[in-house]
Each structure stands twice: as structure tokens, then as C-alpha cells.
Amino acid sequence: MNLDMINRRGLVLLGCGKMGSAMLEGWLGQGLRPEATWVIDPHPSDWLKGVAANGLTLNDGMPDAPAVVLIAVKPQMMGAALPQIAGFGGGDTLIVTVAAGTTIATYEAAFGAGTHIVRAMPNTPAAVGRGITAITGNAVTTPADLDLAEALLSAVGQVVRLEGEHQMDAVTAVSGSGPAYVFHLIEALAAAGEAEGLPAELAMQLARATVTGAGELAHRAPETAEQLRINVTSPGGTTAAALSVLMEPDTGFPALLRRAVKAAADRGRSLGK
């Protein structure tokens, strides 16, 4: 990532919780200068205070016209947070937001319709550099703006571009909330192992290793997920017996996940109103 412009003009990070910290750590590792970074966070972590000791500006003023302002506060804190940075609207500062459920229209109301705004939806595996983030911009966003946002967000994983904001609720329901579904799968798989007679600790060890290992295989393998499933399923075997339950059209995974993802997407739509 070319950080020359950001190191020259500065970057403001509003909110430095788990997601903000993961991104900031990635940027610093790729060459962002602490002296070119301003962070606003009412409850800074010890790690952030340590970075501030090396030149980052923490809760003390801001540059006049930073290259990027990245908003990483929780949606319920948005009303109090946005006025602190409203003055950056209308210029050539790029506003990037990773807050869930807050629409571009909300930011345009705060910053002005002429402000370049990119809305992004990352997910929690960003904390280990394995996230995936979807981005979309408002009407005045340029290709260069999207390139800059993608370069910043790629510090914590993959980045995809959407056709428009209308796809954001579905993205939130699949990848934004999706890690929780996987964690619950681990819980449920471990509980099922216990029900078959395994000690709780062993069942959880097996479930965690199985899900994380299968995920890594899906990440590395050239085959599709469907083919990987077929590869491990012998006709008439134990896996086939389990899949006959999991793939049952009305009560199995497909129907259950359709309902779950729809519920999450519907909730995202209601939060955005």
C-alpha cells in the first residue's frame, strides 16, 4: 500500500476498539507513520497508549485536512461522535466508515452531500488479518477514493466492491454476522459430541480444530466448497448419514441458514431507517 499521501496529510481514526485496533496495527505494520495518525477514543487501550508514546496523537487536536477520516465507533455512539469530525465534510478528505447499520444518507446529512464517503462492512476475523470487507461509495466517490479505501481495508484481509449500498444488508447478514454463526456451530458440534459420550473438553477441542481446519482447507484448496464436501463423503458412510440430516430441505442447514441470514438482513434494514 502506498502511504505517501496519508503520511503527508494525515489519517484520523474515530474509535479504536477491536476493529479499529486491528486496522491501525495493520497500517502501522505497512508503513503508516505514528506522527501522521490521530486517534479519538474515550477509552484507549494500553496498546494504543503505547503507540501514542511513539508519536501517535491521541485525543488531542486534529489535522486541518487529513487524507482519510475512518469512523469505527458503534452505531449507538454515532450521534455523539460525528459532530467531532463534521468539519471535514465538503472537502477532499475521504470519509470511510466501518460502522454497521448506519447508511450513507446519515453521513451525507452530517458532512454534506458533496463529501466523498465510502461505507464498509468488515468482520471480526480482521483481528487476525483474515477478515473480508465489502465497500461501496456515494455518488461523488471517485475510483481513486475506492482504491484508497480498498488499500486501507486490505490491511486486515480481503476487500470486495459492491454494486451499491442496496447490497450492504445482505453482506452484513452473510459475512459481517457470519463469524458468530461459525462460532455457534463449534458450540453445537461440541455439545453433540458430548451427547455421544465424549468428555466436554475433548469434544470442544475436536470441534474447534475441525471447524478451523476445514476453514483453512476451504481457504487454500482450489476446489469449490461443494467439491470439498463431496471429497470427504463416502457413499453409504458415516458422513453421508450425517449429511442426510443436515441437507434435509425443510429442516436442515439450507433452510435454517436462509432463515437466519434473512433475519439478520431484515434487522439491518430496520436499523438503517
List, as residue ranges, the binding site for NADPH: 59
Q: Which of 141, 98, 102 is nearest to 120 (CA)?
A: 98
Order of all β-strands in the sheet with 11-14: 57-58, 37-40, 11-14, 68-71, 94-97, 116-121, 131-137, 157-161
Q: Which residue has the cell 461505507?
A: 119
Cα distance between residue 25 and residue 43, in whole Å? 17
Annotated binding site for NADP(+): 14-19, 72-75
CB 127 within 8 A of CB 18: yes
Burial 133-156 (b: 16+ CB within 10 A, else e): bbbbbbeebeeebbebbbbbbebb
Residue count of the chain, please give it: 273
Annotated binding site: 14-19, 59, 72-75
CB 101 within 8 A of CB 271: yes
Rg over alpha carbons for the chain, rounded to the nearest Å, is 21
Cα distance between residue 36 and residue 55, in whole Å? 8
Q: Say if strands 57-58 and 37-40 run parallel, antiparallel, or are unpaired.
A: parallel
